[in-house]
């Protein structure tokens, strides 16, 4: 099963896919060797020429057809993602909406930027200055197992809209989802070679980094550092979306019923296997007990697994079995240091799958692993604080800086607190779902990564910036050889455009007129 799928020095010829809820084999794909990766990128490079030559309108027509494909095949997508990834079918089906909005955002952006962006020529009077954005060539993607379909599609859209070809290495846990993604793009009319997959382990990802013109990696900070080191050998630009240990701050005035429900959703969505999921909770001391009681009551009602076989459940299995070791270590550490287990804390092994029960703990302290490291599971550890100031200080006491949330009836106060939290995304009275607001940048600070993988900022990751400046013949008045008035002329221009007072600017005009050189 997945335990047997760890990275090895000698990759097997075939990569097998299993259903994490029961261990049933779903299929297999061929592992891509370094030579395979090189050939795949070469095909992509050749296909990219034609893709770019289509122009923005031609590419946009095809990419916008993908929206219809996603809608028409949503239930098929839900079934496969549920089988290979373990999550309820409703979750990937629901995320087709943000994918469609991502397409609209970046096709619109490509159209807007197509003629270039006019900028000021500053003191180069009579000149025209414009910035153009051109595709880099082939964009590579090494993506994770927790959201293999959603990220597998979403992260490639800006690269494609900008005119690049793409090659993706999906997680070794989800190869069939990767093949489905290629089929969806083909169904929309994307030419052969523009969207391709390579499969395998770390060696395959490394070979991809060596060949492409830009790399997007989503995964752990440890692997992210290795990606950046390898990319440095070829000066390949990178964007890294890494881990998180997101804090939730519950204020004195929070609606506890609403907050408890929101914290459970922000923790248990996708079985807690979410980089920006709630991982630690800070609440006023006198609210810890009532909040914990409400949370326990909610998680007891959640359906874990799918005994009916009809896709009617809330929490799926552990997708990547090695996570169990982290869950057990973090739980044992918290209990050994004095935390009280209120619910869960154990694995339910059934029908060949691993199901971790939603785990609620109180009596947390900041020296516990769960409060410092990424657990990446359905854990709700609650720590008592004495004030908002203490909560902010503890929220910022982390090597991560991906996301956070503030829970309060006072939206203005919540937004003010959000500005003080060191995180790339902060939600007020919600958690996790900012990742579905595709107009917002997504990424973080510290061990949470480099760059942004969502919003308009993502588009600029996959383009080369070209400056074009067209000058009138009079520009030669600024050329060599210099004369006695050249320095005064330069100072005059500076005063005209950057003077602190009107009088200083007028003085600059006089200097320019007096020292303007005669035409040669």
Over residues 164-205, the pLDDT tens digits come to 999 999 999 999 999 999 999 999 999 999 999 999 999 999
What tokens were used for 203? 């060696």
Which of 203, 241, 279, 374 is labelled catalytic? 241
* C-alpha span between 44 and 137 (Å, rounded): 9
| Top-confidence residue, 59 or 307 | 59
Query: What are the backbone angles phi and psi of residue 149, rounded to the nearest 5°?
Result: -85, -50
Q: Tell me: do 299 and 174 sit in the same domain.
A: no
Which of 203, 211, 275, 279 is labelled catalytic? 275
Which pLDDT does position 488 carry in this prediction? 94
What tokens were used for 454? 């969502």
Q: Tell me: do 280 and 394 sit in the same domain.
A: yes
Domain span holding position 359:
246-434
Tell me the mean pLDDT in the region 113-132: 95
Task: Specify which residues 250 forms β-bridges with.
Answer: 407
Q: Tell me: do 205 and 295 sit in the same domain.
A: no
Pinpoint the alpha helices (H) of 189-255: 202-211, 221-233
DSSP state letters, 251-293: -TT--HHHHHHHHHHHHHGGGG--TTSEEEEEEEHHHHHHHHH
* C-alpha span between 201 and 273 (Å, rounded): 20
Catalytic site includes residue 411: no
Whether the ω angle into residue 481 lies within 30 degrees of 0, i.e. cis, is yes
500 lies in a domain?
yes
How many domains is the chain partitioned into structurally?
3
DSSP 519: P
Tell me the mean pLDDT in the region 433-442: 96
Catalytic site includes residue 229: no
Alpha-carbon Rg for the chain in angstroms: 27
Q: Tell me: do 353 and 271 sit in the same domain.
A: yes
Count CA within 13 A, CB hemisphere, residue 34. 7
CATH code for the domain of 325:
3.40.309.10
Query: What are the backbone angles phi and psi of residue 134, rounded to the nearest 5°?
Result: -120, 150
Q: Tell me: do 334 and 190 sit in the same domain.
A: no
169 lies in a domain?
yes
User: Of 96, 153, 36, whose CA–CA distance to 454 is shortest?
Assistant: 153
pTM of the model: 0.94
User: Of 210, 234, 48, 206, whose CA–CA distance to 142 is shortest?
Assistant: 206
297 lies in a domain?
yes
* C-alpha span between 442 and 462 (Å, rounded): 16
pLDDT bucket at 308, cuts 50 / 70 / 90: low
Q: Mark which of 448, 465, 482 sits at the end of a domain.
A: 465
pLDDT bucket at 125, cuts 50 / 70 / 90: confident
Q: Tell me: do 330 and 460 sit in the same domain.
A: no
Q: Is the pLDDT of residue 59 over 90?
A: yes
210 lies in a domain?
yes
Q: Which of 98-107, 133-142, 322-331, 490-499 is the least confident region?
A: 490-499
Q: How far is CA 470 from CA 48, 129, 155, 473, in A?
A: 29, 7, 35, 10
Q: Tell me: do 294 and 419 sit in the same domain.
A: yes
* C-alpha span between 37 and 42 (Å, rounded): 8
Q: Tell me: do 339 and 316 sit in the same domain.
A: yes
Q: Is the pLDDT of residue 486 over 70?
A: yes
174 lies in a domain?
yes
Q: Tell me: do 236 and 256 sit in the same domain.
A: no
Q: Tell me: do 70 and 187 sit in the same domain.
A: yes
Q: What is the residue-averaged pLDDT of the chain?
A: 95
Count CA within 13 A, CB hemisphere, residue 140. 28
Task: Specify which residues 314 forms β-bridges with.
Answer: none
Contact 140, 168 (CB under 8 A): yes
Q: Tell me: do 362 and 226 sit in the same domain.
A: no
* C-alpha span between 400 and 33 (Å, rounded): 34
CATH code for the domain of 155:
3.40.605.10
Coil, helix or strand for 16?
Answer: strand
72 lies in a domain?
yes
Q: Tell me: do 407 and 335 sit in the same domain.
A: yes
Over residues 137-168, the pLDDT tens digits come to 999 999 999 999 999 999 999 999 999 999 99
417 lies in a domain?
yes
């Amino acid at each position: 099963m997945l335990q047997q799928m760890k990275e090895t020095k000698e990759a097997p010829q075939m990569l097998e896919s299993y259903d994490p809820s029961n261990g049933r084999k779903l299929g297999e794909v061929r592992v891509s060797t370094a030579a395979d990766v090189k050939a795949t990128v070469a095909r992509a490079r050749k296909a990219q020429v034609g893709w770019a030559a289509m122009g923005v309108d031609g590419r946009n027509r095809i990419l916008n057809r993908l929206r219809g494909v996603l809608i028409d095949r949503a239930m098929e997508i839900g079934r496969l993602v549920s089988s290979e990834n373990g999550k309820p079918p409703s979750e990937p089906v629901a995320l087709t909406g943000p994918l469609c909005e991502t397409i609209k955002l970046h096709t619109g952006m490509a159209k807007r930027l197509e003629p270039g962006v006019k900028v000021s020529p500053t003191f180069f009077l009579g000149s025209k200055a414009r910035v153009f954005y051109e595709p880099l060539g082939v964009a590579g993607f090494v993506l994770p197992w927790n959201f293999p379909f959603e990220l597998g599609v979403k992260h490639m859209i800006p690269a494609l809209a900008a005119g690049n070809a793409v090659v993706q290495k999906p997680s070794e846990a989800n190869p069939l989802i990767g093949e489905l993604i290629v089929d969806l793009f083909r169904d929309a009319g994307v030419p052969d070679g523009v969207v391709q997959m390579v499969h395998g382990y770390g060696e395959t990802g490394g070979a991809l980094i060596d060949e492409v013109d830009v790399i997007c990696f989503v995964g752990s900070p440890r692997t992210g550092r290795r990606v950046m080191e390898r990319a440095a050998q070829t000066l390949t630009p990178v964007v890294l979306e890494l881990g998180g240990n997101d804090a939730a701050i519950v204020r004195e005035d929070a609606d506890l019923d609403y907050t408890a429900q929101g914290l459970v959703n922000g923790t248990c969505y996708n079985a807690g296997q979410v980089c920006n999921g709630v991982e630690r909770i800070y609440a006023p001391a006198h609210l810890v007990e009532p909040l914990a009681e409400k949370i326990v009551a909610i998680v007891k009602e959640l359906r874990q697994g799918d005994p009916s076989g009809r896709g009617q459940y809330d929490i799926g299995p552990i997708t990547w079995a090695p996570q169990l070791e982290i869950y057990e270590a973090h739980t044992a550490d918290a209990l050994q240091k004095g935390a009280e287990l209120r619910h869960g804390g154990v694995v339910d092994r059934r029908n060949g799958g691993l199901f971790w029960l939603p785990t609620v703990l109180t009596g947390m302290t900041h020296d516990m692993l769960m409060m410092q490291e990424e657990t990446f599971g359905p854990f709700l550890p609650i720590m008592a604080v004495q004030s908002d100031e203490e909560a902010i200080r503890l929220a910022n006491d982390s090597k991560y800086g991906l996301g956070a949330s503030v829970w309060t009836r006072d939206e203005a106060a919540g937004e003010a607190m959000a500005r003080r939290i060191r995180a790339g995304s902060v939600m007020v009275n919600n958690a996790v779902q900012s990742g579905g607001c595709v107009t917002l940048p997504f990424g973080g600070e510290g061990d949470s990564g480099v760059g942004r993988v969502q919003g308009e900022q993502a588009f600029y990751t996959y383009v080369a910036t070209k400056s074009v400046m067209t000058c009138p013949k009079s520009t030669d008045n600024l050329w060599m050889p210099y004369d006695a008035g050249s320095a005064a002329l330069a100072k005059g221009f500076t005063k005209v455009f950057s003077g602190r007072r009107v009088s200083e600017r007028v003085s600059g005009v006089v200097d320019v007129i007096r020292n303007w050189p005669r035409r040669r």
